[in-house]
Amino acid sequence: MSRADERADRVSETTASQGLASTLRQDEIARLMRRRGEESRWWWIVPTLYIIVLLLPIYWLINMSFKTNGEIVSSLTLYPHAPTLANYRTIFTDASWYSGYINSITYVVMNMVISVAAALPAAYAFSRYRFLGDKHLFFWLLTNRMAPPAVFALPFFQLYSAFGLIDTHIAVALAHCLFNVPLAVWILEGFMSGVPKEIDETAYIDGYSFSRFFIKIFMPLIASGIGVACFFCFMFSWVELLIARTLTTTDAKPIAATMTRTVSAAGMDWGLLAAAGVLTLIPGALVIWFVRNYIAKGFALGRV
């Protein structure tokens, strides 16, 4: 065999081995892609199941709100066979029901405004100044938030009874401030600490008074923090039952306390209770929708 033939054989062998290696690499890549596709499908399945588990109680609540008590008790169905609006009609026509919603919204808004207004100057002081015992005072504020509402129910009742504030909106709003002001201070202090102190100094050099600087310059810079603080104050006051029920009797009774009226000697009015629950979810959902971007910024700063 000549040298040219040997060279041609070696070239053909090299080409064949390269082709085989290329085929093996393509097969390996295909296997990896298939394995990654299977793993990605599992990654989609797990969050989907988790979301279904979270949304199932809400769907079941809505489902029950359109059923009669007889259908709710007699069978377990995924949808109402004879949908009815009677439960919602009762809530919107019965004064004791819709007044409960009005009472809840009234003292929740009052508490939210008072808590954030009180927390803003306190949070500014903690973020900008250092004084003796500042860390201990800050920790003491947070310990008030850690205590359960049952601890303060009786003291609040005796105090407000002496001042004639029982069964008023302001009584519940002020009582909830004990829990919401520390939380609002903690949230706002984190946002304020992220604003450079040079902005304060520049504003004072330009002739701004503290009140003008705080309202026109500083508050817009921490608007996301104010939104997050308002959200958490709203949600606590909206769902809190023990103190609100202890401090109210008839005129200022919240919707959470009104919902307990569905229990009677005749049994539980499940449909009416479900309809009230659906309507109770709506304000919280709206608040979450409007402050969702602010909450995301709060997560980024580590204060939510």
CB 286 within 8 A of CB 238: no
Which of the four pLDDT bands, split at 50, 70 and 90, describes residue 133?
confident
36-42 CB contacts, 8 Å cutoff, 24+ apart: none
Residue 24 has pLDDT above 70, yes or no: no
Residue with the two structure tokens 């939210």: 112
- Cα–Cα distance for residue pair 284/246, rounded to 1 Å: 23
Give, in order, the Cα–Cα distances in Å from 139 to each of 146, 193, 225, 289, 301.
Answer: 11, 17, 20, 31, 20
Read off the pLDDT of residues 191-232 as tens digits, 9 standing for 90 and up: 888 888 888 888 888 888 888 999 999 999 888 889 889 999
**Dihedral angle, C-alpha 283, 255, 111, 218, nearest 10 °:** 0
CATH topology of domain 94-301: MetI-like fold (1.10.3720)
pTM, to two decimals: 0.77
DSSP-assigned states of every residue in 174-214: HHHHHHHHHHHHHHHHHHHHTS-HHHHHHHHHTT--HHHHI
Question: What pLDDT was estimated at residue 95?
Answer: 83
Closest CA to 219 of 249, 261, 188, 198: 188
Do residues 114 and 174 touch, judged by C-beta distance below 8 A? yes
Q: Using the predicted structure, report yes or no on whether residue 16 has a pLDDT greater than 50.
A: no
What residues form DSSP beta bridges with 72? none
Note the pLDDT tens digit of each residue in 82-119: 888 888 998 888 888 888 889 999 999 999 999 999 99
Mean pLDDT for all residues in the chain: 81
